[in-house]
Chains A and B, each alone.
Chain A
């Protein structure tokens, strides 16, 4: 595969991760457990969708150079499920507050190190996006870590919900650090991280917070994969149906 195709896929993967997770978080807007947390999760959703825009704009630029001429909006609203390269974790349903928090925590614990590495990488555009988004990810990690501790080490009910969320989400965590060809290429080219190193950092972050939260670090090894290569859970279809409806029903619609 030509280098430009690897780069294009890698950028789309980075974009899809944050668009899909951002969309999931945005489903809480107006439904948060308390006004202040409604605003907090909506802020995080906006941060993630802002990051997605930066990545999609870069992907659109790459596609133009490659003669495809995709647009930022077209990439978000007009691709089908098998073209999306987000990790399965990001598309999982919100469930209750505990599950949403834990999903964010798992992802942010990955994102901080990913973005820090992108910021030092050899692709100038990705480095600039990574440097800006890193600060946002650091806050998301702080915010979600505190909630994991609060619920894990809280009441019997909050703990039960956190443990249930852990059981439901754990099998989707391994994919973040299981490299696919475009990630191996990115690591080899000095653009992106070596995911085996990132995995160690992620484990340490998660273990530390789980210790504080009184949660046992799961021993289960078997992990779901496929999202980064377009093989998704049924969850993604529901997201796309809602997110893409308007552009598909009224092509080019603006408001």
Chain B
């Protein structure tokens, strides 16, 4: 499938949201077309007020095979959570 258009990752910011969230991916010939395609595919039901597109090849991901060495060591480091402070009784909702 060498004549397939490149893949793009689409990020949409909703009206209430502060951040762009990954919405999905689609094919497009260039960035301009990717934005228009994203508009038609992902904002038809008023989901967004801003669109970012990134060609998928520019995204570098961690390797799932390394998950054990990457993430497991954090498991027993409870002291990294701010749960060891004595809070005054007057302080609610923490």
Interface residues of B (CB under 8 A from A): 5, 26-29, 32-33, 36-37, 40-41, 44
Bound state CA distance, A39 and B28, in angstroms? Answer: 13
A 34-62 contacts with B by CB, 8 A: 34-37, 39-40, 43
A: number of interface residues (CB 8 Å) = 11
A40 touches B32 (CB 8 A): no
Residues of B within 8 A of A143 (CB): 36
Interface centre among B26, B29, B32, B36 (most CB of A within 10 A): B36
Q: Are B40 and A40 in contact (CB under 8 A)?
A: yes
Contact between chains at A34 and B27 (CB < 8 Å): yes
B36 touches A40 (CB 8 A): yes
Given contacts A43-B40, A142-B36, could you give 17 more A-B pairs where the C-beta distance is less than 8 Å? Answer: A34-B5, A35-B26, A35-B27, A36-B27, A36-B40, A36-B41, A37-B37, A39-B37, A39-B40, A39-B41, A40-B37, A40-B40, A143-B36, A146-B32, A146-B36, A150-B29, A150-B33
Compute how far the CA of A35 lies from the CA of B40 in the bound complex, rounded to whole angstroms.
11
Shortest Cβ distance from B31 into chain A, in angstroms?
Answer: 12
A48: shortest Cβ distance to chain B, in Å? 15
- Chain A residues in contact with chain B, CB under 8 A? 34-37, 39-40, 43, 142-143, 146, 150
By a CB distance below 8 angstroms, the chain A residues around B29 are 150
Q: How far is the CA of A215 from the CA of B56 in the complex (A)?
A: 33
Chain A positions within 8 Å of B33 at CB level: 146, 150
Shortest CB distance A139–B (Å) = 8
**Contact between B28 and A36, CB atoms less than 8 A apart:** yes
- For B44, give its contact among A34, A43, A150 (CB under 8 Å): A43
Q: Closest CB-CB distance, B64 to chain A, in whole Å? A: 28
Q: Which residue of B lies closest to A43 (CB)?
A: B40
Instruction: Give the chain B neighbours of A146 by CB distance below 8 A.
Output: 32-33, 36
Residues in A neighbouring B37, C-beta threshold 8 A: 36-37, 39-40
* Cα–Cα, bound, A95→B52 (Å): 34
Q: How far is the CA of A36 from the CA of B40 in the complex (A)?
A: 8
Question: B46 to nearest A CB, angstroms?
Answer: 13
A40 to B32, CA, bound (A): 14
What are 12 sample pairs from A and B whose C-beta atoms fall under 8 A apart?
A: A34-B27, A36-B26, A36-B37, A37-B37, A39-B40, A39-B41, A40-B36, A40-B37, A142-B36, A143-B36, A146-B32, A146-B36
